[in-house]
Every structure is written in structure tokens, then in C-alpha cells.
Amino acid sequence: MPKLPEQFQGLNLLGCLFNTFIYIEISGTGGSAFRPMYAKFLDEASEILSEYQLKEGAERFRDSGKIWSEIAASALPDFWPTLKRIRELSFEKNRIFEEQKIGALERMRNINIELDNLMKEAEKDLQKKELAALLDDLKYKIFKCYAIEEQAFKMLSF
């Protein structure tokens, strides 16, 4: 990823990190980039078709799902307080939305205000801070996930 800091800086990098988190953990069904849901499908297909390899593939996708969640968390890491808070508020906003309780809209609006302020602060931070640790951690986890999913696809290619 040597060109990433050149191509994505400030707001562009923040958008990339934020969307990585959102699309892996919040958008869709069940988080972890849909891997647990797909693993469950493979388990059911394994039983119906009596194909043990599908069960093995399901295990690999459960493993990769954990790594996908790690990738999402690494995009908005704990060691960077502003990004960590953005991650926490995003989970909270999603929880409030899904519960649909009285007062949810107002609570979500308040979270949006805090998120807007944090995004401005994070944009400035990303222009000042050293990004190597953040990007190296993401790269390591992406390659780890790739290796697991490569095994899974080989198991499913029978």
C-alpha cells in the first residue's frame, strides 16, 4: 500500500476508513462482511447435500468473518481516540435505529452532530499523524483474511 497515503489524505482517507468499517460491520446482515451468514448457509447445504467439504468451508468463513471484524475495528482503531469514538457512535446510532424506540430520531440527530464534529477533528488528525502503524495493521489483517478465504474457496471447489 505504498501509494495509499498519496492517493488518500485527510477527508478522503477518513472516508475510506469510515466506509470500510460501515460496510463490514453495520451495513447488511450480521456484520463481519456477511461471512457468518454465508457460513450458516454452507452448514445447511452440507447437511442437505451430505457434503462434508461444505462444512469445512463454513468453518473457514467463520474464521474469516472474525478477521473481517478485526479489519473493520482496525480502520477506526482504539489507539486513535477520535476514530475509536466515531466507531462507538456508529454502533450506537445503528442500535438506536434498529430498536426504533420513542425518541430514537432525536438521539440519532444528537449522535450525528457529535459525529460531524469528530469527523472534522479526525480529518485534521489524519493530515498530521503518522499513518504507518494504522495502514500496516490493516494490510496485515487483509492478507491474513485473504489466506483464510483462499483456503475456503479451494475447499468449495470440489
pLDDT digits (tens, 9 = 90+) for 57-73: 999 999 999 999 999 99
Three-state secondary structure call for residue 29: coil
Distance (Å) of CA 38 to CA 67, 100, 118: 15, 27, 34
- Helices 11-21 + 81-99 axis angle, to 10: 50
Three-state secondary structure call for residue 28: coil
The pLDDT of residue 1 is above 60: no
Three-state secondary structure call for residue 113: helix
The pLDDT of residue 10 is above 90: no
Give pLDDT tens digits for 74-92.
Answer: 999 999 999 999 999 999 9
Give pLDDT tens digits for 114-124.
Answer: 999 999 999 99
The pLDDT of 34-43, averaged and rounded, is 96
Question: Confidence band (pLDDT; 50, 70, 90) for 4?
Answer: low
The pLDDT of residue 144 is above 60: yes
The pLDDT of residue 47 is above 90: yes
